[in-house]
Amino acid sequence: MYGGSNKVANEAKLARENTVLKAIRSVNKLIVREQEPEVLLQKACDLLVATGGYDHTWIFFTEGEQCCSHVYQSQSGSEYGKLSNVIFSEENCFCLQESSKHDGALFLEKRSETCSQCPVIKFLPEGVAISAKISFQTKVFGVLTVYLKALLVTQEMEFELISDIASDLGKAFYDIEKRKKDIADLQDSLETVGQKERFLQDVYNAIQDGISILDTNLNIISVNSVVEERQAHNWPVIGRKCYEAYQNSESPCPKCPSLRTLETGLPQKELIFVPEITRSGSKEMSWIELSTFPLRDDAGKLIGVIEYTKDVTEQKVAEEKYHESQTRLNLAVESAGVGLWDWYVQTGEVVLNDEWALMLGYTRDELLPHSIKTWENLTHPDDLKKATALLESHFSGQQPQYECALRMRHKEGRWIWVLDRGKVIEWDENHKPVRMAGTHVDINALKQAQLTLAESEANFRGFFETIDDLFVVASLDGRVLQTNYAYEAKLGYTQSELQQMKIVELHAEQDREQATRRLMEIIKGIQTFCDLSLCTKTGTLIPVETRIWMGTWNQEKVMFGISKDLSEQHAALELFEKIFEHNPSPMALTKLENSVFVNVNQSLCKLLECEKADVIGKTAVELNFFQDEEVFLDAKKQLRENGAISNMCLRLRTQNGTLRYGNFSGEIIKFQTGSFFLTTMLDITEQVEARLALH
């Protein structure tokens, strides 16, 4: 009888252990597959209830300094609805407050003094709750708690299960945060390249082989146009793991060169067999030569991998057909236009391929005898010193390989830029180099593009300094970063003085409050124009019209402003206003778009027997000035067609009802604020009345 009880207990324990293992496997698979934190936590709760045999599971998730920012829970059946409401509403639960302080799992029950005060435990039926913090190293992400109506086997085994799952979730969250940070760091590094290197994007997409850029977790963050075309059937691939997107696999490829590059910091290469979707939609297997190169930030930190994929299916087929690996390698090198060299360091003998010589305009025979002197004689003297120092650094073990961009003399007499790379492949017993092999790559086009870019920048600087308009670059907090000569000359400040000032300080003191408001509107994108005058060092105001736009300057977001000096226009406008106001002939200025009077002179007011305020802001029709409607309409028609009228006789009525006759002439004029119609009138009332009296 006693033996039968043991057997039943052992079977129950074995069944529970299988259930535990199933729950662990299910959660681990979920962790590998799921990268969204919210989905991961909810599905983990669901799986523990579904596969772990728990009656209720909940997770308190912390974010930043918040005690509890999110709650995830799952239950078996509907009897725990009230408990779920308490979990979602309480933040001071024992399993949240206490479990985060302990490394292992904690046993929670109503009978304990602490748990009996917990608002969650109060609502638990009789049973067992086990809680463990979700953490990795020193970072705590939350607390996992499970509830069973009764322990099925042993408390220790359940403790171990919950601790393991909580640890796995903690490691998963640490990896997710680290991956996001790595992606953000890499993207920030790429963004700092700026406008000066945008042409490299064209080179990037012009390369006829596939290029992918990965972060340190093998997430794809950028591809060139060749990869986009190859993966059109599988798009998008950005943000996915390389092995998931390219291989449809749940784990990295065997002998993954990208992983080796991340581990060693050195370039790697591997030949892989991958499925390819053809243009017709059929699936074929292709041989891809995958080369990986370390991607580092300015500080030398490894932040990702560059994958260079070259379809070598044809070469592989040729290898299988002819079994000549060297022939295949030579074909690949020739198609890439790469020069190969093999240097026996101690004898000075060098073996060159045809491409090495052809790159410089020679045949191999023309360069005989081939020795290290051949290379030295063709290399620019200044670059030879640099290359020799880099070779010595490699020979001494300071650098894992040799690399130098240098100029070599072409057969035509010109210098071309070559990227010279190599590595010692054989050492003697004294660790002296015996044999070194390497490549020459023609980078002349790239270097010429860089020189052209530098020349363009110099031309811009010259234009910047010579234009008459006032040009300023300011930070988003209003600091003056750069000004041109015109700015300094007209305001009377030196550039160093201006760079100590805020942009609002360039306006008169009474305008600075308004200038500050304008600045905030510009930063928010509400305004791009400012008509406030600038103030010189001596206090003189310069009327300007300033256009402002946002941009980038030395990798910093800034405001660009260009101010046009309106001093001459303002002087001309003042002169016009004086002539207008004191002219003996009646004159009026109306808006072209709506015929509203914006100004009339004293002569016209006197003639019409009215004040300026009676006329400005109204139209002639509203004031019932003109008595000959057909003639008035004809005048407006001529104005639209010809832009002017001349000597048109119109009758007009004064404010007191008197009829006057006038010859009207006028034309359209343009100011900064828009187009206007300037009208002058010659009073011919006496002549007309005399002529009428004769008739």
* pLDDT tens, position by position, 101-124: 777 777 776 556 666 666 666 666
CA 387/CA 391 separation, integer angstroms:
6
Distance CA 658, CA 652 (A): 8
- Show the tokens assigned to 404: 């130098």
Q: What percent of the chain has pLDDT over 70?
A: 82
Dist CA 346 CA 432 (whole Å): 9
Q: Average pLDDT in the 594-604 region?
A: 88
CA–CA distance, 186 with 213 (Å, rounded to integer): 10
Q: Are 108 and 130 in contact (CB under 8 A)?
A: yes
Q: Is residue 386 over pLDDT 90?
A: yes
pLDDT at residue 116, rounded to an integer: 62
Q: Is the peptide bond before 257 cis (omega within 30 degrees of 0)?
A: no
Q: Which residue has the higher pLDDT, 596 or 205?
A: 596
pLDDT score for 230:
80
Output DSSP code: residue 656.
Answer: T
Helix axes 199-206, 444-466, angle to 10 degrees: 160
Which amino acid, one-letter code, is at 225? S
Phi–psi pair at 423, nearest 5 degrees: -155, 145
Asked if residue 420 has pLDDT above 90, the reply is yes
Question: Does domain 2-182 bear CATH number 3.30.450.40?
Answer: yes
Residues 6+ apart with CB under 8 A from 468: 486, 565
What pLDDT shows up at residue 97?
65
pTM comes to 0.31
Select the CATH number that applies to the domain covering 467-565 from these four: 3.30.70.360, 3.30.450.20, 3.30.1360.230, 3.30.300.30: 3.30.450.20
Split at pLDDT 50, 70, 90, the class of 328 is low
DSSP H helices in 304-437: 313-322, 325-336, 354-358, 372-378, 381-395
Q: Where are the domains of the chain?
A: 2-182, 204-325, 337-434, 467-565, 572-694
Nearest alpha-carbon partner for 305 in 257, 253, 246: 257
Fold of 204-325: Beta-Lactamase (3.30.450)
Q: Buried b vs exposed e over 138-161: b needs ≥16 C-beta within 10 Å?
A: eebbbbbbbbbeeebbeeeebbbb
The answer to whether the beta carbons of residues 343 and 426 sit under 8 Å apart is: no
Span 232-254, pLDDT tens digits: 787 888 888 888 888 788 888 87
Residue 1 pLDDT more than 50?
Answer: no
Whether 488 has a pLDDT exceeding 80, the answer reads: yes
Residue 280 confidence (pLDDT) above 60: no
Residue with the bigger pLDDT between 462 and 174: it is 174
Residue 424, pLDDT > 90, answer yes
User: Stretch 482-511: mean pLDDT, rounded?
Assistant: 88
pLDDT at res. 175: 84
Q: Which residues contact 75 (CB under 8 A, 6 or more apart)?
A: 49, 55, 56, 57, 83, 84
**38 pLDDT higher than 70:** yes
Query: What was the pLDDT predicted at 121?
Result: 65
Q: Identity (one letter) of the amino acid at 270?
A: E
3-state SS of 474-509 is EECCCEEEEECHHHHHHHCCCHHHHCCCEHHHHECH
- Does 2 or 524 have the greater pLDDT score? 524
Can you tell me the mean pLDDT for 511-515?
89
What distance in Å separates the CA atoms of residue 309 and residue 208, rounded to the nearest whole number? 10
Q: Do the Cβ atoms of 167 and 187 come closer than 8 Å?
A: no
State the average pLDDT over residues 273-286: 65
- φ, ψ of residue 268 to 5 degrees: the values are -135, 165
Task: Give the highest mean pLDDT range of 287-291, 345-349, 641-645.
Answer: 345-349
Query: Rounded distance, CA 418 to CA 343, Å?
Result: 17
pLDDT at residue 273 above 70? yes
Is it the case that residue 91 has pLDDT exceeding 60?
Answer: no
**Domain 337-434 identical in fold to domain 467-565:** yes
Strand order across the 302-311 sheet? 220-223, 210-214, 302-311, 283-296, 268-277
436 vs 423: CA distance, rounded Å: 5
Q: From residue 609, how far is each of 168, 495, 508, 602, 648 by CA, in Å?
A: 94, 58, 42, 10, 22
Q: Which residues 6+ apart lie within 8 Å of 239 measured at CB?
A: 219, 220, 221
**CATH architecture for the domain at 337-434:** 2-Layer Sandwich (3.30)
Contacts of 489 (CB under 8 A, 6+ apart): none
Least confident of 330-334, 378-382, 452-456, 635-639: 330-334
- Using pLDDT thresholds of 50, 70 and 90, give the confidence band for residue 479: very high
Indicate the SS3 state at residue 1. Answer: coil
Mean pLDDT of the chain: 81
More confident residue, 544 or 103: 544
- Torsion sign, CA atoms 507, 508, 512, 515: negative
Per the CATH hierarchy, to which homologous superfamily does domain 572-694 belong?
PAS domain (3.30.450.20)
- State the pLDDT at residue 248: 82
The pairing of beta strand 210-214 with beta strand 541-542: unpaired
- Is pLDDT above 60 for 130? yes
